Amino acid sequence: MKLLYNARIYTLDRSAPRAEALVIEGERILAVGGADLIDQVDARAEKHDLGGGTVLPGLTDAHMHVHQYALGLKKVDCETATLAACLERVGERALATPPGQWILGHGWAQNDWPDLPSEGEGFPTAAELDAATSDHPVYLTAKSLHAGWINSAAMRLAGISSSTADPVDGRILHDAAGAPTGILLEAAMGLVNGALPQYTVADVADAVERAQPLLWQMGLTGLHDFDQRTCFMALQTLHQSGRLGLRVTKSVPVDLLPHAHALGLRSGFGDDLLRIGSVKVFMDGALGPRTAAMFQPYLNEPENRGILNMDGEALFEIGCQAAEVGLSVAVHAIGDRANHEVLNAFEQLRTHEHELGLPALRHRIEHVQVLHPVDRPRLAALKIIASMQPIHAISDMSAADRFWGKRSRYAYAWKTQRNHGARLAFGSDAPVESPNPFWGLHAAVTRRRPDGTPAPEGWYPAERVTMRTALEAYTVGPAYAAGVEDRLGRLKPGLLADLVVLRKDPFTCPSDDLLSLASSATMLSGEWVWQAP
From the CB of 398, what's the least distance to Zn ion, in Å?
Answer: 21
Rounded to 10 deg, the angle between the 229-240 and 201-217 helix axes is: 70
Looking at beta carbons only, is 225 or 341 nearer to Zn ion? 225
At residue 485, the 3 state secondary structure works out as: coil
**CA 57 to CA 59: how far, in whole Å?**
6
411 DSSP assignment? B
Looking at beta carbons only, is 226 or 232 nearer to Zn ion? 226
From the CB of 226, what's the least distance to Zn ion, in Å?
Answer: 5
Written as one string, the DSSP assignment of 458-469 is: -SSGGG---HHH
**Per-residue binding letters, 334-373, with Zn ion (x by CB under 5 A):** ----------------------------------------
**Per-residue binding letters, 371-410, with Zn ion (x by CB under 5 A):** ----------------------------------------
Q: Are 170 and 289 in contact (CB under 8 A)?
A: no
Looking at beta carbons only, is 61 or 128 nearer to Zn ion? 61
From the CB of 63, what's the least distance to Zn ion, in Å?
Answer: 6
From the CB of 325, what's the least distance to Zn ion, in Å?
Answer: 24
**CA 179 to CA 496: how far, in whole Å?**
57
Looking at beta carbons only, is 108 or 226 nearer to Zn ion? 226
Among 20, 61, 227, 429, indicate the residue that binds Zn ion (CB under 5 A): 429
**Per-residue binding letters, 296-325, with Zn ion (x by CB under 5 A):** ------------------------------
515 DSSP assignment? G
Rounded to 10 deg, the angle between the 437-446 and 390-404 helix axes is: 50
Size of the site for Zn ion (CB under 5 A): 2
Q: Are 154 and 195 in contact (CB under 8 A)?
A: yes
Q: Are 139 and 152 in contact (CB under 8 A)?
A: no
Q: Are 68 and 24 in contact (CB under 8 A)?
A: no
Residue of closest CB approach to Zn ion: 429
Q: Which range, of 287-295, 377-385, 427-435, 521-529, touches Zn ion by CB under 5 A?
A: 427-435
Tell whether residue 284 is a contact of Zn ion (CB under 5 A). Answer: no
Using the CB atoms, write b or e for 70-104: b if 16+ within 10 Å. Answer: bbbeebbebbbeebeebbebbeebbeeeeeeebbb
**CA 14 to CA 490: how far, in whole Å?**
10
Looking at beta carbons only, is 150 or 331 nearer to Zn ion? 331
Looking at beta carbons only, is 286 or 484 nearer to Zn ion? 286
Q: Calculate the alpha carbon distances from 346 to 149, 311, 382 in Å.
A: 35, 12, 7
**Per-residue binding letters, 189-218, with Zn ion (x by CB under 5 A):** ------------------------------
**Per-residue binding letters, 215-254, with Zn ion (x by CB under 5 A):** -----------x----------------------------
From the CB of 227, what's the least distance to Zn ion, in Å?
Answer: 9
* Positions that interact with Zn ion (CB under 5 A): 226, 429
